[in-house]
Structure formats: C-alpha cells, structure tokens
Amino acid sequence: MTEITVSRDVYWVGEDMAELFPRSWFGDPIFLVAARDVDGAGEALTEALGRFMLLDDEGRELSRAQARSGLWSTPRAASGIHLTDRGLVMYVDCGGEFTKARGQVMIEILVAELWCRDVSAHVCRPPEALDWIGAPRWIKLSR
C-alpha cells in the first residue's frame, strides 16, 4: 500500500511574514523526498520538476508554448535532483517568492507523480545542515 506524507512546514516562513504576506511564501521551494524506492522517487521527481516549470502564479499548468511566451510568471530554473544520505532533494528558483497557489499545486503534482508510480515517501524541507548542493545528481540508469 502506497503511503505519502507531506510535512506541514514544507514551506516554512516566520509568523510575522505569514501575516504580512498572506498570498505568498518567501524563499524558494526546496523538497527533500525520503523513499525506499529511490529510482521510482527519482522518476517521479523528474516528471514533477518538468511540470513545476510550467506553473504560473495562480497554480495553472501552462503549455510549453505558453510558458516560453513570457506572458505568465513561471519559475526561472531548477536544480535537478540530488541524491543525499537523507533522500532526494530538488530546488526550484522562483525568484525568492512564490504564491501559495503555485506552492499548493507543486505539492499536488509531487504527490500525484509519486502515487502513480506506487512510491511511498515522506516529503519535507531539508534540514539546513544538509549539504545537498554538493551531493551527486540522481541519474536514472537504463535497465
């Protein structure tokens, strides 16, 4: 049975910022996905990351042509997927701020991609001490 949990503080901000900016999260989305099936999780994250790059501020998934047009605000770049001793990490550059609508849809996409591959996982924000930038990138090996 597939079980996917998402930490309540995956998009943590201080209380003062949450009150000042009720529609946005500050910082950029960064996810740590801990799963026993690392390859299944890596495949899910790869697909999710591609879909994240098509999300506008309202959380709508645009076509590739719409996203390239520059008429909508979409994420700038992504880190790829890094393999750490705690799990897989991916980072999405949204310019230091992203709407709660986009953030909610990111979680929905990530859970859906894990679910359709029958990958049980826990999704959270990586601890600050985790050196994911220096970690190797996850690469799917051909079978």
- CATH of 4-124, picked from 3.30.70, 2.60.40, 1.10.260, 1.10.3470, is 3.30.70
- Model confidence over 5-14: pLDDT tens digits? 999 888 865 5
- 115 three-state secondary structure: helix
CA end-to-end distance (rounded Å), the chain: 25
The reported pTM is 0.89
Give strand ranges (E) for the chain.
4-6, 24-26, 30-34, 77-84, 87-93, 97-99, 121-124
Q: Locate the domains of the chain by residue range.
A: 4-124
Average pLDDT of span 47-56: 96
Select from 115, 103, 104, 127 the least CA-distant residue to 1: 115
- 8 three-state secondary structure: coil
Positive/negative CA dihedral, 3, 107, 109, 80: negative
Question: What is the predicted pLDDT for the residue at 17?
Answer: 56
Q: How far apart are CA 25 and CA 94, in angstroms?
A: 10
Question: What is the predicted pLDDT for the residue at 25?
Answer: 77
Flag whether pLDDT at 136 surpasses 90.
yes
